[in-house]
Amino acid sequence: MPIVTSLGWLVLCCVSLASRRLEWSQMIKMALAWVVIFGFLYLIVEWFMVIRGTASAAF
């Protein structure tokens, strides 16, 4: 189920970006900015989980 919802969110993001009719360079900059934002948030959450000792053993 998480894969289906993730694909749905990805399609929603792509459709919303396409509706703005931006140039490719602007679209790539916006996409990279979102990747950086979500990556930063992911690292913060993982950091707190490591401190609390509840992080996954995938490292």
Question: In this structure, what token pair is assigned to residue 16?
Answer: 């919303």
Angle in degrees, CA 10, 18, 30, rounded to 5 = 70
The residue to which tokens 């998480």 are assigned: 2
Q: What is the pTM of this model?
A: 0.56
Cβ(41)–Cβ(47) under 8 Å? no
Q: Which residues of 16-31 are buried (b: 16+ CB within 10 A; e: fewer)?
A: eeeeeeeeeeeeeeee
- Per residue in 1-45, pLDDT (tens digit) is 678 888 888 888 878 878 888 788 888 888 888 889 888 988 998
